[in-house]
């Protein structure tokens, strides 16, 4: 059993993240490496700016929204972050969602699907790798980078991928499945 969460990072009106994430979700279903695939939209999760009084490593959450977010992240075996690039970095909502928790992220692989202009979100991906590795996550090398993302959307705002995107998402999902299995023993309680 492998459960994948596809997290839509952007929350702004008119965003393109859901279109990109729905394509990733479809590809993941066809891929077959994950028994469960869940679409997690940070706009719907709607976390306020970090408002927990205790450090996340303690797991002493005082707000229901944090307990709900903790349960959602804890149930996943792997993640795909579908993320835009804002001013050479990743967006604040994604950082906030990550920072709410600590051990729930440990020893889980993460794939990056980024989009933007000429850089295709690659600068944002480079920045977030420092954060996720601090939380003992493993970012897979294989990624999907979509430059000038608007050109890949049809009139209904559905993503129409090219061959490079299709082969990239398959390679990323292959590695996510492999790393999910490899990291699973590390998530088991330590034996004395």
Mean pLDDT of the region 53-58: 96
Spatial distance between the Cα atoms of 43 and 45, rounded to a whole number of angstroms: 6
Closest C-alpha to 21, from 95, 74, 94: 94
Distance of alpha carbon 95 from alpha carbon 61, whole angstroms: 18
Q: What confidence score (pLDDT) does residue 189 get? A: 79
Tell me if 117 sits within 8 A of 148, measured CB to CB: yes
Q: What is the pLDDT of residues 68-107, one digit of tens each?
A: 999 999 999 999 999 999 999 999 999 999 999 999 999 9
Mean pLDDT of 115-135: 96
In the block, residue with structure tokens 């469960």: 36
Say if residues 112 and 81 touch (Cβ distance below 8 Å): yes
pLDDT of residue 188: 86
Contact 124, 94 (CB under 8 A): no
| Prediction pTM value | 0.96
As a whole number of angstroms, the distance between CA 49 and CA 96 comes to 7
Which pair of structure tokens corresponds to residue 165? 């995107």
């Amino acid at each position: 059993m492998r459960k994948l969460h596809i997290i839509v990072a952007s929350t702004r009106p008119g965003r393109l993240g859901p279109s990109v994430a729905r394509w990733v979700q479809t590809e993941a279903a066809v891929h077959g490496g994950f028994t469960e695939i869940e679409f997690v939209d940070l706009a719907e999760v709607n976390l306020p700016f970090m408002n927990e009084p205790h450090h996340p490593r303690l797991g002493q959450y005082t707000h229901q929204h944090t307990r709900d977010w903790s349960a959602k992240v804890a149930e996943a075996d792997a993640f795909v972050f579908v993320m835009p690039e804002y001013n050479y970095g990743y967006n604040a909502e994604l950082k906030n969602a990550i920072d709410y928790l600590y051990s729930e992220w440990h020893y889980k692989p993460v794939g990056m699907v980024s989009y933007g202009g000429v850089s295709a979100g690659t600068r944002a991906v480079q920045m977030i790798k420092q954060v996720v590795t601090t939380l003992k996550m493993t970012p897979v090398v294989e990624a999907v980078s979509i430059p000038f993302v608007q050109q890949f959307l049809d009139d209904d705002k559905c993503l129409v991928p090219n061959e490079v995107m299709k082969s990239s998402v398959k390679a990323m999902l292959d590695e996510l499945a492999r790393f999910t299995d490899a990291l699973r023993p590390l998530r088991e309680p330590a034996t004395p």
